[in-house]
Structures are given as C-alpha cells and as structure tokens.
A and B are shown apart, each in its own frame.
Chain A
C-alpha cells in the first residue's frame, strides 16, 4: 500500500494535479451557471408577481416542471434531447453530418434551469417583503416603472433575497457533481478514476467530499462578506 501523501501529491505519481484540475472544472461550472440562473430566475419571478394572470400561469408552469424533475433527469433530458434536436436541425442543412453537444454546456444549461426555478421563488418572496409604498413613492417622484424597479426596488430586493440565494448557491455547487455522470472531468470523476486505478476508493472519495466541504466553507465566508456589504447602508440597529 502506497502512502496517502504520495497518492495525493502533484506530479506524475500523484493524483493531486488531476484532482485540482477537476476542482477547477467544478467551480467554473457552478460559476458559469450562476449568472444565467439568476437572470432567468429574476425574469420568472417578475412573471409570477405580475398582475396579468396568463403571465403568472406561464411562469408557474416553468417552476413546476423544473422543481419537480430530478436534477439528474433534467441533465439527461438536456444532454440527449438537445443533441438529437440539434442533429435533426443540422442535418436539414448539411446531410450526413453529426454534431456533438459539449457536456459542459449541457450541464450549464440544465443547472441554470434548475437554479432559476428555485431562484424565482427566492426573488418572489423577497418581492413580497417590499412594501407597496416603495413603488408608489417611486411613481410619485415621476420615475417610470422600469426606473422604479431598477433604482428603488432592486437594491432592497437583493438584500432580502441574499440569504435564500446563498443557500441556492451552495446547492448548485453540490449539484455540479452530477455532471460527472455524463462524462465531464470534474472533481468527482477524477476521484473516481483515481480510486479505480489506485484501488484506494475510500481515500479518494473522502478527499473529494472534503474538497466539496472546503468549497462550501469558502462560499459561506464569501456570502457573509457579501451580506455585510449589502447591508452596509442599513446602519446599526
């Protein structure tokens, strides 16, 4: 049995550099899905709080679907579904050709859709925390609807939604592990490969778990910092 430190070292006999590369992929996948998830989630939340019933229905159907499906299934639906769809479209123009969907992009699309469905709920409950008077005050100052939303409501909204969004970020970070199933070389996949080659599964999956924990801890620190920053204008209570 080889020493655990040798196995985890960087370089040709250790798996340290592979695992570090996998960690980078995991983090960049989560970071790449985040902005799309936030923007789509915000738009869906706007739809849900709209006065227009048809808009509310459309938004609610979206969240029902993506909150009801297992994330793994969403991933497969996007990965295989988009591949089949793209190939059908592509073959209309260039017969006999074949396109391959990038696993990273498929994961990004699936994770952003799931994230946005949950984020829309977070934004919606934050919207409920903003009093009607804030909108009326904005209109009384002669601001248009978009301006009121952007200048008055949005800054308060972020503050109210931050705790829930922080939790969603931690969930997103964990969900990226699923991407290893469709063959992206993320943290969990490299640990799996290392475990199979070295026959030390407990060591490598244990290390993978610890790295996920470390990422969660770093995120918590970052989130606390962002929350303090967002509340800097509130003063002492």
Chain B
C-alpha cells in the first residue's frame, strides 16, 4: 500500500443529501406541477382533433395576429409620443412640466379599462363636435379607439422610463460633450440617448409585456383580438377549453418575448461585462 506522494488526491465524497422537510415539500410540489402539466398536455392533445379546434383554430390565429398588431402599433406610436412628454416633464418651464406631470399621473393612476371606456364611449358625448371637425370616423371605430387609448397609456409609462434613464446618465457626459463643442441636441441624440436606452432596456421589456397582457382589454370594446376570439368561441360552444387554449397561447407569446428580450439584453450590454 505504498502510494507515491504526489498521487492525485481524490475529492472528498459528496455529502449525503438528507430528506429534509423543505426537500420533501419541494419534490411534492414539483410532482404536483408535473401532474398538472401532464394532464394539461393530455387534455390539449385529446382535444386536438375535436370539433372545437377544427372550428375555431383559424379564429385563434387571427386573434393572435390582431393582438400583435395592436401592441406593435401602440408601442411604436407611444414611443414617438413619449419623447416630447419626457422632454416637457423635465423642462424648466413650470407650465410645460406640470402639464406633462398631470398627463403622466392621470394615465398611470387610472385603470386602462376606464381610459378605454372614457375614449370609446366618452367620445359619444362630443359626437356633434367631432362630426363638424371631421374626426368622428376615428372615434366611431373601436379599433382606432383601442389603439388611441393604448398609445396614450403606454406613452405615459414610456415617458417615465425615458426620463428616468436619461437622468440616470452621468452629468459628466453632458459636460464632456459640451467641452468638445458639441451642440446640446446632438449630445442628446448621439451621447446621452444611446447610454440611456441601455438602462431603459429592461423597463421597456416589462412595459411591452404589460401592454400585451393589457391588450386583452380591447376585447371588451368588441375587438376580436386573441381574448375577443376566445370569448366569442366560449359564448358559442360553452366549452371551457376556449380559455385553456388562450392561456397557452398568451403564455407562449409572453415567454418567447421574455426569452428574446433576455438574449437581447445580454447581447447589447456585453461591452459592460468584465471577462472572468
């Protein structure tokens, strides 16, 4: 039994993991989720050839497309609108900044559903006026009203994200740019904004997901987005799987987006990571 002195040492044996209370609970809970998931898969698979799927599958896909259109349009228009609001909010002019503050406070402090109702039904109070102005066609249409309401809502949130992230950029960046003789506007677009947007990436992602979930509200003002198609399918078939399919589709959309956003964030901030 004479081993050479510098023989590789074996690692110590792994500690035996005991069945503590939390381990048992954890395994039971995971097992419960697994059973629920397996049952869900079985339920969906067994219904794949049912008449419900045959009848409504195309409607669901159309609903997904409508939801995505609604969200993309509102997010982009909201992003455009958020810029002047954020500028006004951080302006030194008291009138301008208090108007922007009130706007943001109103849209962040009231439910999206109430805002949508206020715009879609509330426009009816001004029908003669809007007809004279020639914009009644806009407020008569549920689709335009939904896009309008969501745009206003998300622009308030996006303005706050933008403002917060611009303020987060170090003052020295402004000073350095002005020392180099760069004008303020150029400094904002070329120096400050790119740095601010990196900070804003995560809140923007959250806002996008919140808007996708919030867009389900459009179904209440008769828009056939994913939720609207679901409600129609349920009211025609009285089959509960209508809601199950919607849940699966929404979860898929949101999870995919969240994963993509995570990858995007890692990619865009790779210059900030230190090696090792």
A224 proximal to B (CB < 8 A): no
B126 proximal to A (CB < 8 A): yes
**Smallest CB-CB separation from A196: which chain B residue?**
B121
For A177, list chain B residues within 8 Å (CB).
Answer: 111, 113-114
Q: Which residues of chain A (37-92) have a CB below 8 Å from chain B?
A: 47, 50-58, 61, 64-65, 68-73, 76-77, 80-81, 84
**Smallest CB-CB separation from B234: which chain A residue?**
A80
Binds B, one of A126-134, A158-166, A205-213, A227-235: A205-213
Residue picked from B215, B247, B254, most chain A C-beta under 10 Å: B247
A60 to B7: give the CA distance in the assembly, Å: 45
**Do the beta carbons of B243 and A73 come within 8 Å of each other?**
yes
Which among B27, B115, B231, B258 is the interface contact of A54 at CB below 8 angstroms? B27
For A213, list chain B residues within 8 Å (CB).
Answer: 105-106, 109-110
A209 to B254: give the CA distance in the assembly, Å: 29
**Do the beta carbons of B118 and A202 come within 8 Å of each other?**
yes
**Do the beta carbons of B117 and A69 come within 8 Å of each other?**
no
Which among A54, A69, A199 is the interface contact of B251 at CB below 8 angstroms? A69
Interchain nearest-CB distance for B15 vs A (Å): 12
**Known A55-B22, A61-B33, A201-B125: A80·B243 in contact at CB below 8 Å:** yes
Main secondary structure of the interface of A (DSSP, over half): helix
Which among B20, B112, B240, B250 is the interface contact of A68 at CB below 8 angstroms? B250
**Known A50-B22, A70-B214, A77-B247: A212·B110 in contact at CB below 8 Å:** yes
Interchain nearest-CB distance for B61 vs A (Å): 17
Interchain nearest-CB distance for A127 vs B (Å): 15
Interchain nearest-CB distance for A175 vs B (Å): 7
For A64, list chain B residues within 8 Å (CB).
Answer: 251, 255
**Known A72-B216, A76-B243, A77-B243: A216·B109 in contact at CB below 8 Å:** yes
**Do the beta carbons of A201 and B243 come within 8 Å of each other?**
no
A188 to B111: give the CA distance in the assembly, Å: 10
B194 proximal to A (CB < 8 A): no
**Do the beta carbons of A206 and B29 come within 8 Å of each other?**
no
B84 proximal to A (CB < 8 A): no
**Known A195-B121, A203-B125: A81·B240 in contact at CB below 8 Å:** yes
For A80, list chain B residues within 8 Å (CB).
Answer: 234, 240, 243
For B255, list chain A residues within 8 Å (CB).
Answer: 64, 68
For B122, list chain A residues within 8 Å (CB).
Answer: 201-202, 205-206
Interchain nearest-CB distance for A110 vs B (Å): 12
Q: Which residues of chain B (220-248) have a CB below 8 Å from chain A?
A: 220, 227, 230-231, 234, 240, 243-244, 246-247
Which among B25, B33, B114, B240 is the interface contact of A188 at CB below 8 angstroms? B114
**Smallest CB-CB separation from A77: which chain B residue?**
B243
Q: Which residues of chain A (164-200) have a CB below 8 Å from chain B?
A: 170, 174-178, 180-181, 188, 191-192, 195, 199-200
Interface size (A, Cβ < 8 Å)?
49
**Smallest CB-CB separation from B25: which chain A residue?**
A55
**Do the beta carbons of B213 and A202 come within 8 Å of each other?**
no
A81 to B36: give the CA distance in the assembly, Å: 15
**Do the beta carbons of A73 and B227 come within 8 Å of each other?**
yes
For B231, list chain A residues within 8 Å (CB).
Answer: 76
For B30, list chain A residues within 8 Å (CB).
Answer: 54, 57-58
Interchain nearest-CB distance for B113 vs A (Å): 5
B217 proximal to A (CB < 8 A): yes
For B190, list chain A residues within 8 Å (CB).
Answer: none
**Do the beta carbons of B114 and A208 come within 8 Å of each other?**
yes
Which among A70, A181, A216 is the interface contact of B250 at CB below 8 angstroms? A70
A131 to B174: give the CA distance in the assembly, Å: 37
**Do the beta carbons of B114 and A209 come within 8 Å of each other?**
yes
**Smallest CB-CB separation from A215: which chain B residue?**
B109
**Do the beta carbons of B240 and A52 come within 8 Å of each other?**
no
**Known A69-B213, A70-B250, A73-B227: A209·B240 in contact at CB below 8 Å:** no
A176 to B56: give the CA distance in the assembly, Å: 30
Interchain nearest-CB distance for B28 vs A (Å): 9
**Do the beta carbons of A181 and B220 come within 8 Å of each other?**
yes
Interchain nearest-CB distance for A189 vs B (Å): 11
Can you name 11 extra interface pairs (CB under 8 A) apart from A70-B227, A174-B112, A213-B105?
A58-B29, A68-B254, A68-B255, A71-B213, A72-B227, A81-B243, A175-B111, A177-B114, A191-B117, A202-B122, A206-B118
The 14 listed contacts between A and B (C-beta, < 8 Å) are: A47-B26, A50-B26, A54-B23, A54-B30, A57-B26, A61-B33, A69-B247, A72-B220, A80-B240, A177-B114, A188-B114, A202-B123, A209-B110, A213-B106
